[in-house]
Structure formats: C-alpha cells, structure tokens
Amino acid sequence: MRRVLGAVAITAGVVLGMQGCLPFGSDREERTVEYGVSGQVRELVVETENGGAVVAGGGDSVRVSEKWRWKGSEPSATHEVKDGVLTLRYSCEACGIGYTVHVPSSVKVRVKAENGGARLSGLAGEVDASVENGGVEATGLTGPKVRMHADNGGVKAEFTAAPAEVEATVGNGGVQLKVPAGEAYAVDARAKVGGTAVGIPSQAGAAHRLTARAETGGVSVGAV
C-alpha cells in the first residue's frame, strides 16, 4: 500500500489556521473576555467565522475565554444556555473571535468554523467539528462517535479509547488517525491524491468503524 505524502502537513495547517485569519493593521483593536457558565451544560456549540476554537475536556465546570479582534465596530457576541446546550456565536463586519473553552469531558461538542482551526483534547462525548480553512487536530479522545471535516487544512486525531464510529473527511490536507491497538476495526480509507497507509488490520463488520477520506493529501490510519 502506498505511503501518505500529504498527511505530514496536517498539524501545520491547523496551527496556521488559528493564527492567520483575523484582521491585521495598526488600527486593529483587541481584548479578551473571560467568564464561567453556571447550570448544567450537556452540549457545547461553537460557531465562529474568524478565529478558530480550542476545546479541552476535564474538571466539572465550564470556562470560556474569548479573544476579540476587530476594526471599526466591535463584535456582537452572545453566549446562551438553553435546554442544557451552551451556544457561543457572534456577528460583525471586520472582526474575529477565537474561543478557548474548558468543559467537563462528557460534554458533547460541536464546532463550526469558517476560518481558523479547531483543536480538541480530552473529550469523552460525541464530537462534530467542521472547518472550512484551518484544519482539525484532536488528542486524547475517548468518545463513541466522532465526525471531523476540513475543506482545507487536514484532520489529525488520536484516540485513547476505541471509538464506535469515526468519520474524517478532507478536501485538501490529508487525514491521520491513530487508535488503540488490540481492537477490531472496519476501516474504509481512501485518497484520490496522496495515497493511503493503513497500519492496523481491517475486519469487515467490526463493531468499531473508521472512515477516512481525502481528496488531496493522503490518508493514514494506525495504532497509538
């Protein structure tokens, strides 16, 4: 099986996406807003156009840090808890907000970012992360169901417990998945450009299903 050529650039794509998407210039303004969220939160939703999101699991409370940058009018940002779902979003013309959120590990996480990557760590709930430019990088995942998509920037994910279902799809940038050895996985790995490398046995009908597909950049699936 051919070795992956494009997947080595995945991490760099995520890092650059977090830093390079906000307004520049001497007249740019910025500030940091930090707060805790009371009440029970079972699901986190982050929607950002520019700035990206970092979500870390652990502890028993929710803490949010928002990095605001703008020109002209500052962002109109909201955070709301409804039926156990915390939603973070904002609107503006020339601005960006980068979110850093600490949540209990069991919280379900959904991230939608246009420009700016998503970094996830220590999460045991379901994950759904979609990024247009910037990529997705995840470590220490133990959740049963994970979906990750990046148009540009790649997907790199490492699991410390065998997931029931993973779907990782990329336009440009490659996919790299690492899962615990010793489990039976049904692997569907495909790349139009860049090749595929599967370093674990694939067993049809296995309880753990891994789907990894890339248009450009290659696909790598291996053991931790």
Task: Determine the Cα–Cα distance for residues 94 and 74; give it in Å rounded to an integer.
Answer: 8
pLDDT recorded at residue 28: 85
Record the tokens describing residue 212, joined without a space: 């990894």
Task: Determine the Cα–Cα distance for residues 161 and 139; give it in Å rounded to an integer.
Answer: 11
pLDDT recorded at residue 18: 45
Phi, psi of 32 (to 5 degrees): -115, 130
Please tell me the pTM assigned to this model.
Answer: 0.91
pLDDT recorded at residue 15: 42
Helices (H) and strands (E) in the chain, counts: 1, 19
Instruction: Find the angle CA(149)-CA(151)-CA(153) to the nearest 5 degrees.
Output: 90
Instruction: Find the angle CA(46)-CA(133)-CA(8) to the nearest 5 degrees.
Output: 115
Ranges of residues in the chain with a pLDDT under 70 are: 1-26
